[in-house]
Amino acid sequence: MKIIPLTQGKVAVVDDDDYERLSGVKWCYSEGYAVRNSGAGGQIKMHHQIIGKPPEGFVTDHRNTNGLDNRKDNLRHITQAKNVMNKKAQRNNTSGFKGVYWHKAGQKWCAEIKADGKRVRLGLFVDKDAAAQAYNAASERLHGEFGRASA
């Protein structure tokens, strides 16, 4: 693997065989990704240069959720629904775990996951770590390789 410098002190990681063709261009850091100007007022994402633009109805996913890790084994075209399964916990998350929140009425930690477009309540737990373990087990069972552990 090789490193390509970006603006804002960031770097992108690429496979050795992609380095030469990508390093001859100025790449910038923008919203978590390596991009370059297209010349037509738009931008081209580095990961699209590497594996191509996704087909209609698909997006490019970074398996490890690091948008600057552009090694081929970290990139895949998947549906938006599967991409959401692979997201990290939201920034406003108060428990520190994906799929875990404080349930005021029950005065316990609640674990919840989305499957087939529906929310599935996994239970109420005294301990937020136990709620996170319940989420992780459900994510593995329901989402397989696309699931992301709560922490």
The reported pLDDT for the residue numbered 1 is 95
Nearest to 16 by CA among 66, 85, 72: 72
pLDDT at 117: 80
d(CA 62, CA 66): 6
Place of tokens 């001859």: 24
The candidate with the shortest Cα–Cα distance to 13, out of 61, 68, 66, 52, is 68
Q: What is the mean pLDDT of each run of 10 residues along the chain (151 residues)?
A: 97 98 95 92 94 95 94 94 75 86 94 88 94 90 78 62
Where does 88-146 sit in CATH, by number? Answer: 3.30.730.10
Domain range annotation of the chain: 2-79, 88-146
Amino acid at 142: L
pLDDT on residue 151: 62
Residue 101 three-state SS: strand
The confidence score (pLDDT) of residue 77 equals 96
In angstroms, the CA 37 to CA 80 distance is 25
